[in-house]
Chain A
Amino acid sequence: MIVAVASGKGGTGKTTVAASLATVWDGPVCAVDLDVEEPNLHLFLQPNLTGRETAYMTVPQVDEAKCTYCGACSELCQFKAISVINRLVLTFPEMCHGCGGCMAICPEKAITAGQRELGEISWGQAAGAGFLAGTLRIGEAMSPPLMRQVKARLNQQLAADGGDAIIDAPPGVSCPAVNAVLDSDAVLLVTEPTPFGVYDFKLAWEAFTPLNKPMGAVINRAGVGNDAIYRFCREQKLPILAEIPYDRAIAEAYARGRVIADVSAGLKQTFISLRDQVRDLASPGRAQEAVHA
């Protein structure tokens, strides 16, 4: 089972929720940081890293001795990553999406696979949980290619060892956020009850609804702002699975790098209850079986 923790608005508590859920999870679990632009999960889980590797994607490399400057590659490329001007062929590897079209279409087989560095993938162990993260190279514009590689490693790991995964997704509602929740079994939307929080929550809900995944809301800093988020969840029949109260002591504990589930017995219980509800959400049969038993 894969649970994605997403949000719309940044800074609402995704990482807090993901780290706390991983801490209270019963059974083998891997905490996965897919917010590759600004990965923060390691700051709270303090993993012992056991491996890392540099991630690359395939970009075109032209053998000018074979090139006839026919221009088929630049005509096909939708991303302006390869261009033929008279008897000159230029590549712009940072624009390349890695579709492989130029290599496939070149009649002279003059284009071979070069590499662009995307960033780093690291893994290890964190207090009983597995840990896996992607870190985007500074200056790299596209996060989905690195995210896909992190997910491929996760899938290999889950296929070999079993267990569950909790994904810390990037903020926003465009391609990186959608990519992070795409292969999950349930999505937790974390928000705060402020006008910004509610507005971005609705956008996230709109972006993820077509994916047809069970979704639930977690309301952080409950007590600030207004009640618009509660109305929206009620209207859309979106279950609110947990509320974390607004409390300066929690904000200060977070600011010191604490996992919130470890701050008090009450908060720990909040996350244990969230964990059980998420399990039911991700496997709807389970709750019914429990009722019948």
Chain B
Amino acid sequence: MREIVIISGKGGTGKTSLTGAFAHLAGNKIICDLDVDAPDLHLLLQPKRERLEEFYSGNEADIDREKCDGCGLCASLCQFDAIKQNGDGFMVDPVRCEGCKVCVAFCPNEAIGFPEKHCGQWYISATRFGPLVHAQLFPGAENSGRLVMVLKQQARELAETRGAGLVLCDGAPGIGCPVISSLSGTHLAVAVTEPTPSGRHDLERVSDLCRHFQTALAVIINKHDLNPAEAARIEAFCRESGYPVIAQLPHDPLVTQAMVQGLVVTELPETDFSRELHQAWHKIEEMAGLKP
């Protein structure tokens, strides 16, 4: 079983639109949306939910006003400024609480509870391109990295039981915890970039991250005609660093048109954009070892 994750560094370069198209083009696979924080793939795939699970992760301090005698030890120990004076007692600011339990452990009156945190939900759904494993972290919640690991585990098990040879994942922007979790155990990362100063800068950082975790990387330059000189600089960077550029896609309003209809680009009548995408997918299959 092979695992591919589509990443970008910079947001808005076209990760999800391309993942949707690859989900259309790929054979027997499990699709997985690892951008648990702001997931969008379901807007293209219109999933029918078959399983829903609650995601609990970490805990949160909660001060019992009855038991609190206002000594303030908790506030002096908290490294996250999460404990505030509240009348003659104290209260926890849930937005700042990291769930470290230090206040709970040291409170002389055992006045601080430590309930589990309900951070989101995850789902297994049916789509026209195959099963989708996805989630929604509650807005403002934490532990996206752990939820990414849960989804990957579910997707792998599902691939096993359904005999699918591929898990195709849409990743998150950035280089932090959800992206690091999404790279773990992945055979190939495909970075989608654009020829802008931000696109190039963020590609460099996300490619350093892949190198750091020894994940193979291929690059797609989207909207290449917006700035051909910058696209050439990205190509040169990839050549020097040994990352194959597997496609250069034009800036095409088709992508937004497909999105508005809830379709993927390759379901619309063929254009240069979709022809190039087909070729890119064949190269990805080769690089990920999906073809004998």
Q: Name A residues whose Cβ lies closer than 8 Å to a Cβ of B.
A: 8-12, 15, 37-38, 40, 43-44, 76, 78-79, 97-101, 104-105, 136, 138-143, 170-176, 178, 182, 194-196, 199-200, 203-204, 206-208, 210-211, 224-226, 248, 251-252, 254-257
Contact = CB atoms under 8 A, between A and B. Distances in A.
A40 B198 contact: yes
Contacts of B58: 78
B176 interface: yes
Nearest to B98: A97
B47 interface: no
16 contacts: A12-B11, A37-B173, A37-B176, A38-B174, A38-B198, A78-B101, A99-B98, A99-B102, A143-B174, A173-B37, A175-B141, A178-B95, A195-B259, A208-B140, A226-B260, A252-B227
A170 B37 CA distance: 12
B38 A203 contact: yes
B12 interface: yes
Contacts of A141: 145, 176-177, 180
A76 B195 CA distance: 48
A141 B11 CA distance: 18
Contacts of A208: 140
A142 B209 contact: no
Contact of A99 (B43, B100, B209): B100
B14 to A, nearest CB: 9
A176 B227 contact: no
A236 to B, nearest CB: 14
A172 B173 contact: yes
B95 A211 contact: yes
Nearest to A44: B197
A76 B101 contact: yes
Interface of B: 8-13, 16, 37-38, 40, 43, 58-59, 77, 79-80, 95-96, 98-102, 105-106, 137, 139-142, 144-145, 172-177, 180, 194-198, 201-202, 205-206, 208-209, 212-213, 223, 226-227, 230, 251, 253, 256, 259-260, 262
Nearest to B198: A40
Contact of B259 (A38, A97, A194): A194
A38 B144 CA distance: 18
B177 A142 contact: yes
B201 A43 contact: yes
Contacts of B40: 9, 195-196, 199-200
Nearest to A11: B12
Nearest to B212: A139
Closest 6 CB pairs of A and B: A10-B11, A11-B12, A99-B100, A207-B139, A255-B227, A37-B174
Given A101-B101, A104-B106, 15 more contacts: A9-B38, A10-B38, A40-B10, A43-B198, A78-B59, A98-B79, A100-B79, A101-B100, A172-B37, A173-B139, A174-B144, A195-B259, A200-B38, A206-B140, A255-B226
Nearest to B114: A78
A180 to B, nearest CB: 12
Given A101-B105, A104-B102, A175-B142, A9 B256 contact: no
A34 B172 CA distance: 17
Contacts of A224: 253, 256
Nearest to A39: B201
A172 B197 contact: no
A172 B195 contact: no
A225 B253 CA distance: 10
B38 A37 contact: no
Which residue, of B38, B106, B197, has the highest number of chain A Cβ atoms within 10 A? B38
Given A176-B176, A225-B260, A10 B208 contact: no
Contacts of B202: 38, 40
B21 to A, nearest CB: 14
A37 B139 contact: no
Contact of B197 (A10, A40, A194): A40
Given A38-B173, A136-B176, A139-B209, A174 B140 contact: yes
A219 B120 CA distance: 28
